[in-house]
Structure 1
């Protein structure tokens, strides 16, 4: 099989998204919620769905269990048009799941890893050989320690095959941020949010960094393009140790911010692979994709279409 533009590598799981009175009070207190929705989650799953929504030929490499949650994940991905032939279904393993406690301006996430850490480098290589993608995007680095250990060699192999790469680590639950600095000289693009960029740059520098321009300059000086997701401020790009471009987000009524950063990633990669040469225009695609996704509950319900982004570019 051929014709895949992007192979997304990482986590795919359901998110149980809860809104309303979501801050737990122990002592057997019963609290009433506003909504409870089971939606497609996992950074890699949301990025893959967003890319497919934008018309990019996309496959996902991940592991799910042979349970109801695994079937749910595959159904949602197939409905969106993602190639799931590289998603492994494992017997006797529970599909990972996240419970998202969502408030207007913040959220807490409780995750059962389950099948998420079980994706290995050999499965990624097999998928690459079969699908021949132009680009590989790796998500949720810290939830997949086995894959993370193999990534330096794997990314070198991908480069030898002429395949570009991007990385979105997401948050490190241990808050140690180990290994990322060694990867950044190898990947084409690093896509952290503001807090992740500050944390990774502090780990690399061995001292606290609180200024995002200092963080972006330091990380991009390692050899990759750094594209920072700055929430309502949009996106900021850094190359060769300096800020190179920026673009604002859209002003919208926010329903739910879950997965907005993953939709940002999808918009940026769609622009990059779709021949958008201006870095500012790539950031406009990315920032608009992230902004539009907050119109609905969950990470994928309100993701942007290509027509949405082209209309914004024309405005």
Structure 2
């Protein structure tokens, strides 16, 4: 019996979420906001909390500083039932993201701080053996982790565990190392733009076919349209759920949590995709990535 169902690896930091008149106008113009919330952020942290809310025994491997932002991360992650496996950051301040949120879009300004401190060697064999599944988030915000993740994921699979990856967007546009990592990835969880960028294909179907040939299951988030999945031998789609959207921050991470929870309790891919689209949609009902995340009661109906 393993200690955890899922070990999430990646970023954990606060998000300062601003709403209202958020498009900056320089020249010392003062603008008025309608809301400002300091909430738990980081794709990995939001995914981990979502998994815990759906009943998974969840651990989070992340670098967090010894400062007020780090204290917020530790408090909120622990309160959600996630076991934090902290990595020493060597005095580096905890990262933070400022999110300028509009109803249909958002802009993000990130101070990397401790986000870049995680190394692939921090994913030890002991940690791998403690869990059934390893999920990695925000690959390109963590270059020291990304450079050795292919080897780390190979160790995960050699030890009989499964893997999943959500790269998020690569700000450099290079998408370095991703093909090597995907060779050892059971489930790839991009959005539509990321899927096309990774492969260079003209359509999601062509991109997915290229990856599925290597044995990877591709689960593509497609915004309000829902999601699609392709795997060796099949494909399916699921619609999104109509809700009154307050903020889309972290919706993709909550989607990941829904998918992982369904798969790890034994559901097939179509049902897992339904859980994922529902979890992603429901998370947009409140500000921040974790405030309105789905529970098992929301998904099992």
Pick the TM interval, shorter chain.
Answer: over 0.9
The answer (yes or no) to whether the contact 2:19–2:101 under 8 Å persists in 1 is yes
Residue matched to 1:13: 13
Offset at residue 212 of structure 1 (A)? 1.7
**Alignment of structure 1 residues 226-237 onto 2, 5 Å:** 226-237=218-229
What is the root-mean-square deviation of aligned Cα atoms in Å?
1.4
Residue matched to 2:204: 212
Residue matched to 2:283: 293
Residue matched to 2:253: 262
The answer (yes or no) to whether the contact 2:120–2:152 under 8 Å persists in 1 is yes
TM-score (norm 2): 0.97
Change (3 A) 1:193 1:243: farther
Residue matched to 2:170: 172
Matched position secondary structure for 2:300:
helix
Aligned partners of 1:126 and 1:161: how far apart in 2? Answer: 8
Q: Which whole-Å deviations, capped at 9, do the CAs of 1:176-206 have from their partners, x for residues lacking one?
A: 112112221211000001111111111xxxx
Aligned partners of 2:273 and 2:162: how far apart in 1? Answer: 18
Change (3 A) 1:91 1:185: closer
* Segments ≥4 residues shifted beyond 6 Å: none
Aligned partners of 2:294 and 2:88: how far apart in 1? Answer: 29
Aligned partners of 2:58 and 2:219: how far apart in 1? Answer: 21
Offset at residue 124 of structure 1 (A)? 1.3
Offset at residue 219 of structure 1 (A)? 2.3
Aligned partners of 1:2 and 1:265: how far apart in 2? Answer: 21
Offset at residue 11 of structure 1 (A)? 0.2
List alignment gaps of at least 5 residues for structure 1: 203-208
Correspondence 1:245 to 2:244: no
Offset at residue 89 of structure 1 (A)? 4.4
The answer (yes or no) to whether the contact 1:213–1:243 under 8 Å persists in 2 is no
Residue matched to 1:206: none
**Alignment of structure 1 residues 43-192 onto 2, 5 Å:** 43-84=43-84, 86-125=85-124, 128=127, 132-192=130-190
Q: Which whole-Å deviations, capped at 9, do the CAs of 1:119-156 have from their partners, x for residues lacking one?
A: 11222116515x61000001111011111111111111
Matched position secondary structure for 1:236:
strand
List alignment gaps of at least 5 residues for structure 2: none
Offset at residue 88 of structure 1 (A)? 2.3
Matched position secondary structure for 1:138:
strand
